[in-house]
Structure 1
Amino acid sequence: MRIVSLLPSATEALFALGLGDRLVAVTHECDHPPAAAALPVATRPSLRLEAEDSGGIEMAVSLAATEGRSLYQIDIDAIRALQPDLVVAQDVCRVCAVSAAEVAEDLEGIRMLRQHPHSLEDVLGDIERLAVACGRDATPLLGRLRVRLDAASQTARRLPRVRGVFLEWLDPPYPAGHWTPDLLALAGVDDPLARPGLPSVAGSWAEVAASRPEVLILAPCGFNRDRAAAEAARLRTQIDSVGAARVVVLDGSAYFNRPGPRLVDSLEVLVASR
């Protein structure tokens, strides 16, 4: 079987399922596991945002959306030339990864698996559906992931619950949405701004402060820990205005933003940060 993954989390899941050798192309964002970075790349970004802070990125992305421009350039001819048996794409967020809607018509005739998880259980279900589509049994992998989820949540239950706010973007602040509230609940973090199963939406620092969190967790989408820490330093005045006793900066790109196997690592990171 020949597979093209247009979704970093699906790439991670395929490797975790032992199907990494079936991948014939991935996206420019597929960087885990390291072997994924050696695969042919079928996409590139339309915007150069590496030097922008979160406010600049928000403005650029909003302008592109207003003008109807895609954030990704997709080499459809290269994908067709690879003659894949399966293309994996997503319908959750047009910003975070290539949208299935962008390629469905151009790749008509090629089998496409569209993933659209909104909860932690949806993510695990998508891993199973991906395995089925590839003729692989997901039971061993899912069993290991559930054992780790249970162990981390058991550890969290031995600790006092804490009132916290998790932000997946900083300028403006976006509270946790989709699957992240499930992780917070399992980790013993009560987040009054979280939107379980729903997209994250822009809020204000005044709203964050009004929620009176004991801990403020920062894991901006697509930012590694160093870049997130630099952004937190830039927004120190706003963060200090929240009045949280603790501020925790985490690697959103590696963990929380990608609905794949490493969401289990994300829970373990959350519990360890308690």
Structure 2
Amino acid sequence: MLCIEWIDPFFTSGHWVPQMIEIAGGVNSISATGEHSRRMTIDEVEKADPDIIVMMPCGFDTKRTESECTEVLQNNQRWKKLRAIENSQVFAVDANSYFSKPSIRTITGIEILAKIIHPQEFSDIKTPENSFRRLKF
């Protein structure tokens, strides 16, 4: 799994997000708990070839994330060859509310990730409307 904090250029999500992924039952493919968010290349993304990608640009809500991702990545052929894109496992989340700053809402962020990573096991968890959605490329 890969969480992307910025789209152009790509930044991997760092700080507390890798730990959120672990708590939700995922394995973060590039960054580790406590590491700073950092710029990464498409080569790194291709090498990791994650099964799930969560787009969480810092400060964006779900709608803006979807719009920005579509605009920037729609015609990127390298992006379209990634396993997560081919399997429709790319999601936009409301990063501004649940991921960009630590707060009590971080728990909701973990629940959102759990629903993305293990949808059957966590189907009974209720998350806020528009807190995440699947992206199509």
**Structure 1 equivalent of residue 131 of structure 2:** none
Matches of 1:229 and 1:182 in 2, distance apart? 24
Q: Letter of the 2:60 partner, please give it.
A: F
Deviations 1:70-110 (A, max 9, x none): xxxxxxxxxxxxxxxxxxxxxxxxxxxxxxxxxxxxxxxxx
Matches of 2:80 and 2:24 in 1, distance apart? 24
**Higher gyration radius (CA):** 1
**Cα pair 1:175 1:195 within 8 Å, conserved:** no
Matched, 1:236 2:74: yes
**Structure 1 equivalent of residue 61 of structure 2:** 224
- Runs of 5+ consecutive residues of structure 2 not aligned to the other structure: 118-137
Map 1:256-267; keep pairs closer than 5 Å.
256-267=99-110
In structure 2, the CA distance between the partners of 1:237 and 1:216, relative to structure 1 (3 Å rule), is farther
- Runs of 5+ consecutive residues of structure 1 not aligned to the other structure: 1-163
Matches of 1:264 and 1:247 in 2, distance apart? 21
Per the normalisation by structure 2, the TM-score is: 0.76
Greater relative CO, 1 or 2 (CA 8 Å, sep 6+): 2
**Cα pair 1:209 1:243 within 8 Å, conserved:** no
Matches of 1:236 and 1:195 in 2, distance apart? 28
Identity percentage of aligned residues:
28
TM superposition shift of 1:172: 1.0
**Structure 2 equivalent of residue 247 of structure 1:** 90
**Structure 2 equivalent of residue 181 of structure 1:** 18
Aligned-residue RMSD, C-alpha: 1.2
Which structure features the higher share of helix residues?
A: 1
**How many aligned positions are there?**
111
Q: Letter of the 2:115 partner, please give it.
A: A
**Structure 2 equivalent of residue 106 of structure 1:** none
Deviations 1:13-68 (A, max 9, x none): xxxxxxxxxxxxxxxxxxxxxxxxxxxxxxxxxxxxxxxxxxxxxxxxxxxxxxxx
Deviations 1:153-209 (A, max 9, x none): xxxxxxxxxxx1111111111112000000001111111202310210101122111
**Cα pair 1:220 1:228 within 8 Å, conserved:** yes
Matched, 1:199 2:36: yes
**Structure 1 equivalent of residue 46 of structure 2:** 209
**Cα pair 1:205 1:242 within 8 Å, conserved:** no
